Amino acid sequence: MKIYLVIFFTIFLDKIAFAQCNNDTLTIGQDTTLCTGQSITLHADQAYISYLWNNGTTASSIQVTTPGIYYCRAKIVDSSNLVVNGDFYFGSMFFTSNYIYGTGGSYGLLSNEGQFAISTNASYTHINFSACIDHTSGTGNFMIVNGSATANQNVWCQTLSVYPSTDYIFSAWFTSVHPTNPAILNFSINGISIGANVFVSSTTCLWQNFFHTWTSGISQTTANICITNQNINPSGNDFAIDDIYFARVCEFHDTVVVDYDTYPNINLGNDTLICTGDTLHLDATADTNSTYLWKYGSTNPIFDAIISDTLWVDVANGYCASSDTIIVNTSSYPTVNLGHDTTICNGDSLLIDAGNSGANYLWQDNSTNSQYLISNSGIYWVNVYNNIHCINTDTISVSIGNNPIPFLNPNLAFCQGDSVKLDPGNFANYLWTNGNQQSYIWVKPLISTNYGVIVWDSLGCFDSTSANVIPIEIPKVDIISNEDTICLGNTLILEASGGQNYIWNNGISSGNIWQFTPAKSDVYTVTVSNSFNNVECKSDTSIFIYTRDCNTLFIPNAFSPNGDGLNDDFGPVGEFNLQSYEFYIYNRWGKLMFSTKDINKHWDGKDDNGEYMPNGVYAYLLRIKEPLIDSYMLSGTVHLLR
């Protein structure tokens, strides 16, 4: 704690400026005039030890923002040291001490307590003292002390003449020369301590400073300054003193008058717009003694603006100057074009735009939008004006025309594979959904397809229509019969498929099934149609049916191959015309017993090896091909009886 205090004194003393009290002056500035809102810093021109301004501020400078008289009282230390031989240049002269000068001994000049010596190195006076040198780092003298065991012994004293009621500063430097039991120093003037006791650091050769201010009494003319060691321990307690300083503190003062003047009051107004060709009168008139300077060099208080520009003016009244700036923009008259007089299609509307985004609008019906929607014939006008009422007007006449009326059959059917013509009528322009631009198109879609067309007349009016073109499938006719060859008197059933409607043999019968008894072999035809929307698509096919008298062919159901000449063999009998003939006999286990392709050869009851077959039931199969008809088979059983 005490070491830090001493170090503070050291730093403070180093920063003190010294001056000759009789020759120094204080200057805080010149009398001045400021403009409203400005400030000035008043600053003392030297590093004084204290300041006191008329507003109580104790800093070296103050900030002034109001008019008034400002003064400062500052104190500074006189550069003349009143202590005689404070650096011991003259040895042990000009001071008194309760200590005696060193008498010497086995350790050196200061072998005994309560003695002092003046030397350039502490080790010269005692062999156990550190080799400390003068505080000022030179080769000069300083005082080395071997501390006394007797209390309140003055180490150093000197009496000086002083002025009554005057401030003085006192400073002294000290250090331990032996680390054991460092000294405790007390500093006093006229027997009164100035400051607290100082505990000297045990670090040897570390010079420390004691600094204090002292004010003499109102009748005091002398100051007896003494340094006393309060440590009475004879062991160690060895120290040195140097550069003892005592000087007068001088006081100076200075006064400054600060006045304020007002700025010229000018106002060119807000930034503004004028119509092209108009003139804006700008008036900067302020005080009667003011001077003026405009952007382009004019010195009159009034300036006329006629173009877009950023204009400024400087106005001065002697001490203070003001300036103002105004941005003047010119606005052209709105350009309005509603377009040429025109005709619109019936049911359409025309959106006209007066343009000029951000402007104001007034139409013939008092509407105020920038756009106007027209759906009736008439004459329409608009007034367009900007925010400074530069106005322009335009008019348009609108007529209503008739729209074209195209027509296509909405559901147009045709037979698949054919082509159909789509013709909406006679117009100026066409656009079909397939991109074609002809007046009509031929189409043959495979599936139902919608074809649309837009038509325009010569005025550009348009309309559209469409047709759903429906292909009707050509019937794929098929006939099936219960018999390809039929016996006379039997019923024939013919069944047709593949369409919606059926007509047999030119209207003999309708429906897809025809049931009748044919009288002869013949070709039978069916006509089949599909229809939609009064369109009928037809197709026909035919079938040949062979008719014969089945009663001429007889197959017995028993025979007796016993050689009696009656029913001795088995086979078909009767009259018939055959192109081919196959005859097979099988026993009950499916084994082939007999076969022939000769219509005149019958089975005689033997197998292919000539062996007689036993009585029993045998199966036969007869495959016959007659002219004009496909081959067919007859089968059954026969009893063999011997």
How does pLDDT run across 197-244, given as a tens digit for each residue? 999 999 999 999 999 999 999 999 999 999 999 999 989 899 999 999
* Low pLDDT (below 50) residues in the chain: 1-19
Q: Judge contact between 486 and 521, C-beta under 8 A.
A: no
Q: Judge contact between 284 and 59, C-beta under 8 A.
A: no
Contacting residues for 634 by C-beta, under 8 A, at least 6 apart: 555, 621, 622, 624
230 half-sphere exposure, CB direction, 13 A CA radius? 11
Instruction: Give phi and psi for 616, each to the nearest 5.
Output: 155, -175
Q: Where in the chain is the domain with CATH 2.60.40.10?
A: 262-331, 342-401, 478-548
Structure tokens at 538: 């037809």
Alpha-carbon distances of 162 from 83, 157, 192, 217, 248, rounded to whole Å: 11, 16, 16, 10, 8
pTM for this predicted structure: 0.42
SS3 per residue for 347-370: CCCEEEECCCCCCEEEECCCCCCC
Q: Cβ atoms within 10 A of the Cβ of 371, count?
A: 13
- Could you name the CATH architecture of 550-640? Sandwich (2.60)
Q: What is the assigned CATH class of domain 100-248?
A: mainly beta
CATH code reported for the domain at 262-331 = 2.60.40.10
Alpha-carbon distances of 626 from 94, 575, 581, rounded to whole Å: 179, 12, 9
pLDDT score for 108? 95
Q: Cβ atoms within 10 A of the Cβ of 361, count?
A: 19
Alpha carbons 47 and 76: distance in angstroms, whole number: 8
Q: Judge contact between 293 and 299, C-beta under 8 A.
A: yes
CATH code reported for the domain at 342-401 = 2.60.40.10
pLDDT score for 547? 81
pLDDT score for 23? 62
Partnered with residue 544 across adjacent β-strands are 523
Q: Where in the chain is the domain with CATH 2.60.120.260?
A: 100-248
Q: What is the assigned CATH class of domain 478-548?
A: mainly beta
- With H, G, I as helix, E, B as strand and everything else as coil, classify residue 3: helix
pLDDT score for 280? 87
Residue recorded with tokens 């045990």: 202
Name all contacts of 492-499 with Cβ < 8 Å and 24+ positions apart: 492/516, 492/517, 492/518, 492/545, 494/524, 494/526, 494/543, 496/526, 496/528, 496/541, 498/528, 498/539, 499/475, 499/528, 499/529, 499/530, 499/539
Task: Tell whether the torsion through CA atoms of 91, 159, 244 and 110 is positive or negative.
Answer: positive
- With H, G, I as helix, E, B as strand and everything else as coil, classify residue 8: helix
The rounded radius of gyration (Å) of the Cα atoms in the chain is 73
Residue 528's closest CA among 554, 502, 549? 502
- With H, G, I as helix, E, B as strand and everything else as coil, classify residue 122: helix
pLDDT score for 46? 64
